[in-house]
Structure 1
């Protein structure tokens, strides 16, 4: 981008599109694991109704929080230009 409010070129648009897709897909997986870890026992086992309800609500809440946190984390990291480390290469600052 050419600065604040500037237009993005096609490559930058494509990079953002891919990153948004990755953020959403990985967030769905993280949320599913979070829900399964907490709410899964309520679905698999015959638990008392009150405990089952609590586990499902806590699992759903945890899944929603994990989803939002993952999406925000991935997109903020991408916006800041964070690059994974490259073993065996010297950084320009060294």
Structure 2
């Protein structure tokens, strides 16, 4: 997506659609897990009323904040040049990490 103001190719549109879907699904999963971890004890165990209320309210606050933060972080990382990287953290295909003791392919 290097050209601003121009039309996107079909591949760029598809990549953006997939990235948005990934951002939303991973954010929903993370928010559900955090809500369950924070509010779960209040829903499973017989706790004092104040503790139940506090845990459920904390879960209701933390989960949406985490959801929003996850969506924004995934989409900003996608938007940055070189934001899509290989699982090993290498941005260029065929590039090698600069680690002591490793030889480069042309040596």
Fold match (TM-score > 0.5) = yes
Q: Does 1:55 align with 2:55?
A: yes
Aligned length in residues: 91
Structure 1, unmatched stretches of 5+, are none
Q: TM-score, normalised by structure 1?
A: 0.86
Any conservation in 2 of the 1:2–1:8 contact (CA below 8 Å)? no
Q: How far, CA to CA, are the matches of 1:15 and 1:8 in structure 2?
A: 11
Aligned CA RMSD, in angstroms, stands at 1.9
Deviation above 6 Å: which 4+ runs of structure 1? none
After TM superposition, the structure 1 = structure 2 runs for residues 76-87 of structure 1, keeping only pairs within 5 Å, are 76-80=76-80, 81-82=82-83, 83-84=85-86, 85-86=89-90
Structure 2, unmatched stretches of 5+, are 97-103
1:6 Cα deviation from its structure 2 partner: 1.8
Query: Normalized per residue, which structure has more helix?
Result: 1
Q: How far, CA to CA, are the matches of 2:68 and 2:14 in structure 1?
A: 22
Q: How far, CA to CA, are the matches of 1:22 and 1:7 in structure 2?
A: 23
